Structures are given as structure tokens and as C-alpha cells.
């Protein structure tokens, strides 16, 4: 038996940062996001040899661990170890892991991988889990068990998939799936442009500075987060009403507020790419994730998108084709085939 699982990566259009504690506990946060056809994949093959073998294409690592030994968190495959520790592993197994975007890309790939792993383990162990249970467990593994800084949105986006307006109200998380007309989805996809800046980043330090700024109640940080929340609500309304120019302008406004949250979110190279896109005709855009690198997304007039793409490629960025994913976490079983070699 082979168990496979995939969880989609996401584009966070607005609200990022308002899902990072303690802001949602104290003031309530909201996020508008959509998942795309880039995935984190986990394949689980049960074995009876008392070993856990993990192969990660993203980190170019092959590691083996004894089932009976407590796996230390030492920076090597800690996400996998935390899932094994949390859900249990009574026998040997093989794991094969990879994602369609590099770690640190700003698309929520680490959280998507945790969600994919939980899906595979739950199927193997015969545990029935709701979407909310999967997402909350993924949050617990990353943020509590491992202490990785970050918010709530990535785990819920990867689990539920599609276009969601997610509310964070104290200890409650409410996922509101948006009924976006198909014509609106097609037009939004036609006008959006996703590009890779050429480098990844470690978001933890940026998030630490953002969290510190909010805990210290620095007026510019609190005001920026409040404005980002208001922009997310306005952007959700613009999307549902098919107001694409407003959507693009709000993307730009969100990016301007996001840069106020902490040093390091942007830098001269990212600013230069952003200016290239704007000069070529993009209405607005933003850097995805916590900042410092990864992917930029832009909303363009339909007749200018090709010029924006050309300008970004000439400036050294890589335009990445994508489509929307509306399904979320998917897990299935196949029969193990004899080794062809």
C-alpha cells in the first residue's frame, strides 16, 4: 500500500500579519487568500523494518531513524519529526517529500507540507479528521511543538483550498469559502501575474521584529495592522463584485502598509522589481509571505500584462504560470508496484 497526499500552496492577497499572535487574540484578524496549483506532496509507504526513512527533494536529504528512538529537533527534517512525534508511528515507514516551490518562497510551502503529512498519517492510522482538526493540528505542530514563528492562515488555506476569507477571533478560526463567479475567477487569473524574485528568505527574524513591534504597541505597527485588516475586507468586497482595478489598487495599498511592519520586509532589489512592474503598467502588487524574498504577485490591465511580464523577465525575475486550486488537501491510496529496477 502506498499513501499519497498533496496540499496546495497559497497566494495571500491581504490580511497577512493580522493572523500572527497576539494581534488576533486582542483585535481580531482577517485574511483573504486563494490556493494555486502548486503543491506540497507526501508519499508514505508502511514498512516492517523498524526504520523511518525520509527522502526530501527540497533539502536534498535522505535520512534514517529508529522507530523506537525519540527523534531530536536539531534542524534536520524537524517538521517530519514533529508529525511523527505528535501522531505516533508504531512501525517502520518510508516518506518521500517534495514541493513545487522552494522553502522560504512566501507561498506557505512549509505549512502545506505539514498538512500533507498529517493527511497521509491520518489515512495510514485510520484516523478521521475534519478540516478544522487537520489545520489546527498543523498549526500546533509548527507554532507550538516546534516554536516556528508565523500565523494561522497557511494551515487553513492548505487544508480547505479555494478562495477563502478567514477570520481569526480570539481562539476561534472561521473559514468563509467565497462563492466567486467563474467569470470573475477567469478574469482575475487572466490579469494576475506571479513572478519569482530569484531568492528565498528565512521569515522568522522578520516575524520576530513584527511581533515585537506589536507587543511594544508601536503606533506605526498597530496602525499598519489595523489598516491591513481593513484592506482585506475591502479587497474581499472588490473581488466578489468583480472590481478588478480596485482589487489591484488595494494590493498596492496593502504592500505599502506591510512595509511598515518591520525592517527587512523589502529591500532595494525587491523595490526595484516592484517599480519595474509598475512602470510597465501593473496596477498594484505585493511580496507574498513575511517578506525578504520569494514571490511577487501583480494585478495588471489585461492589455498590459504581457508587457509587465517582459519587463520583469528582463530585470531578472522569473514569471511563473499558475492556476487556481479549489480542492485543498487530497489524500489517496495506490497499490505498490514491483520495483522496475
Show Cβ contacts of residue 276 under 8 Å, excluding neighbours closer than 6 positions. 311, 312, 315
Residues 147 and 269 in one domain: no
Q: Going by DSSP bridges, is the β-strand pair 172-177/163-169 parallel, antiparallel, or unpaired?
A: antiparallel
Per-residue model confidence as pLDDT tens digits over 309-323? 999 999 999 999 999
3-state secondary structure (DSSP) of residue 330 = strand
Residues 97 and 232 in one domain: no
Sequence length of the chain is 341
In a domain, 46, yes or no: yes
Question: What pLDDT is recorded for position 201?
Answer: 60
Question: What pLDDT is recorded for position 262?
Answer: 87
Rounded to 5 degrees, what angle do the CA atoms 73, 102, 325 make?
Answer: 110
Of 134, 156, 178, the domain-final residue: 178
Of 178, 212, 227, the domain-final residue: 178
Average pLDDT over residues 223-234: 97
- Alpha-carbon distances, residue 241 vs 18, 37, 76, 238, 293 (angstroms): 24, 24, 46, 5, 32
Is residue 42 scored above 90 in pLDDT? Answer: yes
Main-chain dihedrals φ then ψ at residue 128, nearest 5 degrees: -90, 125
Per-residue model confidence as pLDDT tens digits over 45-69? 999 988 999 999 998 999 999 988 8
Per-residue model confidence as pLDDT tens digits over 121-179? 999 999 999 999 999 999 999 999 999 989 999 999 999 999 999 999 988 999 999 99
Of 126, 155, 178, the domain-final residue: 178
Main-chain dihedrals φ then ψ at residue 274, nearest 5 degrees: -60, -45
Per-residue model confidence as pLDDT tens digits over 324-333? 999 999 999 9
At 322, list the grid cell.
499558475
Residues 125 and 37 in one domain: yes
Active-site positions read: 154
Residue whose C-alpha is closest to residue 327's, from 181, 157, 182 = 157
Is residue 340 scored above 50 in pLDDT? Answer: no
Residues 161 and 88 in one domain: yes
State which residues form the domain around 8. 2-178
Residues 237 and 127 in one domain: no
Tally the domains of the chain.
2
Residue 252 belongs to domain with CATH number: 3.30.70.890
Per-residue model confidence as pLDDT tens digits over 68-108? 888 899 999 999 999 999 998 878 999 999 999 887 788 99
In a domain, 332, yes or no: no
Average pLDDT over residues 287-308: 92
Residue whose C-alpha is closest to residue 196's, from 325, 288, 66 = 288
Which one has a higher pLDDT value, 70 or 283?
283
3-state secondary structure (DSSP) of residue 177 = strand
Is residue 7 scored above 90 in pLDDT? Answer: yes
pLDDT band at 341, cuts 50/70/90? very low
Main-chain dihedrals φ then ψ at residue 118, nearest 5 degrees: -60, -40
Q: Going by DSSP bridges, is the β-strand pair 192-196/318-319 parallel, antiparallel, or unpaired?
A: antiparallel
Tell me the average pLDDT of the chain.
Answer: 93
pLDDT band at 202, cuts 50/70/90? low
pTM of the model: 0.94
Residues 174 and 188 in one domain: no
Amino acid at each position: 500500500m502506498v499513501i499519497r497526499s498533496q496540499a496546495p500552496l497559497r497566494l495571500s492577497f491581504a490580511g497577512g500579519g493580522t493572523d500572527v499572535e497576539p494581534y488576533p487574540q486582542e483585535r481580531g484578524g482577517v485574511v483573504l487568500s486563494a490556493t494555486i496549483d502548486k503543491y506540497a506532496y507526501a508519499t508514505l509507504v508502511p514498512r516492517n523494518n523498524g526504520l523511518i526513512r525520509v527522502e526530501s527533494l527540497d533539502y536534498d536529504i535522505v535520512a534514517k531513524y529508529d522507530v523506537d528512538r525519540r527523534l531530536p529537533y536539531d534542524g534536520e527534517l524537524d517538521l517530519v519529526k514533529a508529525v511523527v512525534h505528535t501522531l505516533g508511528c508504531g512501525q517502520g515507514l518510508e516518506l518521500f517529500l517534495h514541493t513545487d516551490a522552494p522553502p522560504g518562497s512566501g507561498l506557505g510551502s512549509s505549512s502545506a507540507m505539514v498538512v500533507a503529512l498529517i493527511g497521509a498519517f491520518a489515512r495510514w492510522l485510520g484516523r478521521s479528521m475534519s478540516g478544522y482538526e487537520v489545520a489546527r493540528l498543523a498549526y500546533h505542530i509548527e507554532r507550538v511543538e516546534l516554536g516556528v514563528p508565523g500565523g494561522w492562515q497557511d494551515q487553513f488555506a492548505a487544508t480547505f483550498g479555494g478562495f477563502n476569507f478567514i477570520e481569526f477571533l480570539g481562539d476561534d478560526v472561521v473559514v468563509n469559502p467565497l462563492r466567486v463567479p467563474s467569470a470573475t475567477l477567469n478574469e482575475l487569473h487572466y490579469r494576475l501575474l506571479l513572478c519569482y524574485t530569484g531568492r528565498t528568505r528565512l521569515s522568522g527574524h522578520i516575524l520576530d521584529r513584527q511581533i515585537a513591534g506589536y507587543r511594544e504597541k508601536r503606533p506605526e505597527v498597530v496602525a499598519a495592522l489595523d489598516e491591513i485588516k481593513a484592506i482585506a475586507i475591502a479587497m474581499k468586497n472588490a473581488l466578489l463584485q468583480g472590481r478588478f482595478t480596485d482589487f489591484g489598487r488595494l494590493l498596492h495599498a496593502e504592500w505599502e502598509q506591510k512595509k511598515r511592519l518591520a525592517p527587512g520586509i523589502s529591500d532595494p532589489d525587491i523595490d526595484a522589481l516592484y517599480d519595474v512592474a509598475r512602470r510597465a503598467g501593473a496596477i498594484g502588487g505585493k511580496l507574498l509571505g513575511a517578506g525578504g524574498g520569494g514571490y511577487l504577485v501583480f494585478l495588471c490591465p489585461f492589455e498590459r500584462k504581457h508587457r509587465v511580464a517582459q519587463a520583469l523577465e528582463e530585470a531578472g525575475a522569473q514569471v511563473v504560470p499558475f492556476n487556481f486550486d479549489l480542492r485543498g488537501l487530497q489524500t489517496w491510496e495506490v497499490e505498490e508496484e514491483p520495483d522496475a529496477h
